[in-house]
Structure 1
Amino acid sequence: MDLPPIGLGTMGIEDPDVVETALDVGYRHLDTARIYGNERVVGEGLAASDVPRDEVLVATKLWIDDLAPGRVRAAAEESLDRLGLDRVDLCYVHRPRGEYDPAETLPALDDLVSDGLVDAVGLSNFTVDQLATAREHLDAPIAAHQVERHPLFAENDLLADARENGYPLVAYSPLAGGRVRELLEVQAVAEKHDVTPETAAIAWVVGTDGVVAIPKASSRAHLEANLAAANLDLDAEDRDRIASIDREEELFPE
């Protein structure tokens, strides 16, 4: 999919005004999930906005107990009802666990595409081997793979698979739960460009070819700052400095 470089991650957002504000400042990609418990909030914010629906990419995810073949359609329809939409642009398998069976779950997602409930199918938190297996069972191309990616954690085998197979990586938690502010390497790059460490970290993430990011923010100021990171060009020295950080701190392991 052709995704904006920076979208809005909505986990923990409980006020539709935040979503409406995000759209007002320029966000065009909203990412939610059934397990976040806020699909209705996202839908209300979208409905309140003056931005036309067809200009906004809305993504949601089916949780691990939504993935049995007899449950996929009902779960998707429930998400659409909460969102107040008749279709969703992108629907992910949130994690390949629980009721997930690639031979049965993925054809059920293909049916959602065929029937117009979903425009595209994404995967989230898969390994390279699981991605390969998914391609064997999914008729629709993998539209995106959503993974944890930030200066403290970046799995480059997943990036290589995304590039080889022509889909974007969608980086969640690009600010490492706020920890990027504490990293000396990120601080140095931020000071050089007179931006915040958060802006520098997001710029590093989305400055990698084939990667987009979905940071969460609630205030207009932070929403604007995160979005502006797409316009910050880091040079090779900046990128190497942040890349030198030991990247082994996964926040959301299986």
Structure 2
Amino acid sequence: MEYETIHGEEIPKVGLGTWRMEGATCRDAVGTALDLGYRHIDTAQAYGNERQVGQAIEHSDVDRDDIFLTTKVWPMHRKRPDIVNSVHESLAQLGTEYVDLLLIHWPNPLASTGEVMRTLSDLQSDGVARHIGVSNFDTGQLETAREEATVDVFTDQVQFHPFNPQAELLDYCQRNDVLLTAYSPLAHGGAMHDHVLTELGTKYDKSPAQVALRWVTQQDGVVTIPKSTSEAHLKQNLEIFDFELTETEMALVARPSRLRTGMSMLRGRLGR
């Protein structure tokens, strides 16, 4: 495993995302991931699976303190009391006294960014969260969030893959010591049959998905949380650190495409 260091904290380059995992499927996937060596687990209030994630951690042989656990506040909780109450509900569901990272899930145009970020900051100061951050914020929104927070904004979790490389946001994060957490790094399956990723996979004896994940993790200041419930795929997602793409290959993989990004988002909404 490789790690990214932000504000003195080492974060595994590959974690497990749990979006659309439910019930025993979620619990089993998280448990299997921990057994395989994953130490970075991502969930959210909106996913409805915090209890199952917490159960998997509780029944694992891995100490809670060795797991970097993230959850996210549903953005409709936009007032301080609602945010605070919802976070304590999340902790109860997860069966933990703290989360390592607490994010606001989406920017809410009806919410006061200042109130939201100051509330998250106070929750960090109270020990409820070790770090705070945002998700799905563009560069301008992230800048505002950083201005309003009274502690460091640790990460911005966004969709990030070869067809949506987020160059402006990545540059901003790298310049300002903000971790970029990449979700949907395989473009909801769009990377699987891509000709460039396939050709590079042949060269390195890797799958197109593994090449895409290597492209993501080879970038400075970036970690990723691919979703998988298959033990085989969970293993493969970790087997990406024994090869390295050249600078030319990194440039070849990155092909911004609104069409392919849009198709990825559509597949995500359809659960494909």
Specify if TM > 0.5.
yes
Q: Which residue of 2 aligns with 1:189?
A: 200
The whole-number CA distance in structure 1 between the counterparts of 2:241 and 2:160 is 16
- Whether 1:41 aligns to 2:41 is no
Structure 1 residues 9 and 231, CA gap change in structure 2 (3 angstroms): farther
- Whether 1:215 aligns to 2:215 is no
> Amino acid of the residue matched to residue 176 of structure 1?
A
- Whether 1:247 aligns to 2:257 is yes
Matches within 5 A, 1:42-121: 42-97=53-108, 99-121=110-132
Deviations 1:108-143 (A, max 9, x none): 111111111111101111111111111221011011
Q: CA deviation at 1:168?
A: 1.2
Any conservation in 2 of the 1:186–1:201 contact (CA below 8 Å)? yes
> Amino acid of the residue matched to residue 146 of structure 2?
R
Q: Which residue of 2 aligns with 1:13?
A: 21
TM-score by length of 1: 0.95
- Whether 1:4 aligns to 2:12 is yes
* DSSP 3-state at the match of 1:100: coil
Any conservation in 1 of the 2:158–2:182 contact (CA below 8 Å)? yes
Q: Which residue of 2 aligns with 1:146?
A: 157
* DSSP 3-state at the match of 1:146: strand
- Whether 1:230 aligns to 2:241 is yes
* DSSP 3-state at the match of 1:180: coil
The whole-number CA distance in structure 1 between the counterparts of 2:87 and 2:107 is 17
Q: CA deviation at 1:240?
A: 2.3
Q: CA deviation at 1:103?
A: 1.6
The whole-number CA distance in structure 1 between the counterparts of 2:136 and 2:216 is 17
Any conservation in 2 of the 1:6–1:230 contact (CA below 8 Å)? no
The whole-number CA distance in structure 2 between the counterparts of 1:122 and 1:230 is 27
Q: CA deviation at 1:237?
A: 3.0
TM-score by length of 2: 0.89
The whole-number CA distance in structure 2 between the counterparts of 1:26 and 1:76 is 27
Q: CA deviation at 1:100?
A: 2.8
* DSSP 3-state at the match of 1:61: strand
Deviations 1:136-193 (A, max 9, x none): 2101101111010001111111101111110210000001001101211111111111
Percent of aligned pairs sharing the same letter: 38
* DSSP 3-state at the match of 1:182: coil
Any conservation in 1 of the 2:53–2:94 contact (CA below 8 Å)? yes
Q: Of residues 131, 134, 141 in structure 2, which corresponds to 1:123?
A: 134
Q: How many residues align?
A: 252
The whole-number CA distance in structure 2 between the counterparts of 1:136 and 1:68 is 18
Q: Which residue of 1 aligns with 2:172?
A: 161
Moved over 2 A (4+): 245-248, 250-253
Any conservation in 1 of the 2:161–2:212 contact (CA below 8 Å)? yes
Q: CA deviation at 1:236?
A: 2.2
**Unaligned 5+ runs, structure 1:** none
The whole-number CA distance in structure 2 between the counterparts of 1:23 and 1:100 is 36
> Amino acid of the residue matched to residue 109 of structure 1?
L
Q: Which residue of 1 aligns with 2:3?
A: none
The whole-number CA distance in structure 2 between the counterparts of 1:42 and 1:230 is 26
> Amino acid of the residue matched to residue 166 of structure 1?
D
Any conservation in 1 of the 2:31–2:60 contact (CA below 8 Å)? yes
